[in-house]
Amino acid sequence: MRFDPVVLSEQDRQTVEKACQEHCNYRGWSLLAVNARTNHVHLVVVADRGPKAVRDQLKANCTRHLRQQEIPLIVERTWAKGADIEILDTEQEIHDCIIYVLEAQ
């Protein structure tokens, strides 16, 4: 690892979740679930863009919000490069993923 890991405080986690909701609302995307943990974030999003574009926009927007909050998070690199992306094809997969994000973390 080239950079020290970032640990999100409770305030940071709230900021990330709010930033995700605001960005999804702005873009007209449906945020079905979000759970910001101390060292990663899980989301379930329905969007009209490709998954990498959605991921990159959300990461950039969250970083901006973290740097602008009352106690800013200023680090060289907030997020790891890339991220795991899963395409959910069925209602059952979406349901299971939402349960995982909201209840199994």
Amino acid at 71: I
Helix ranges, 34-74 (H): 51-68
Q: Which long-range contacts (CB under 8 A, 24 or more apart) does 47-51 make?
A: 51/85, 51/87
What is the dihedral sign for C-alpha 25, 19, 83, 98? negative
* pTM of the entire predicted model: 0.91
pLDDT tens digits in sequence order for the chain, 105 residues long: 577 889 999 999 999 999 999 999 999 999 999 999 999 999 999 999 999 999 999 999 999 999 999 999 988 888 888 889 999 999 999 999 999 999 997
Q: Where are the domains of the chain?
A: 10-103
Please give the Cα distance from 101 to 28 (Å, whole number).
Answer: 21
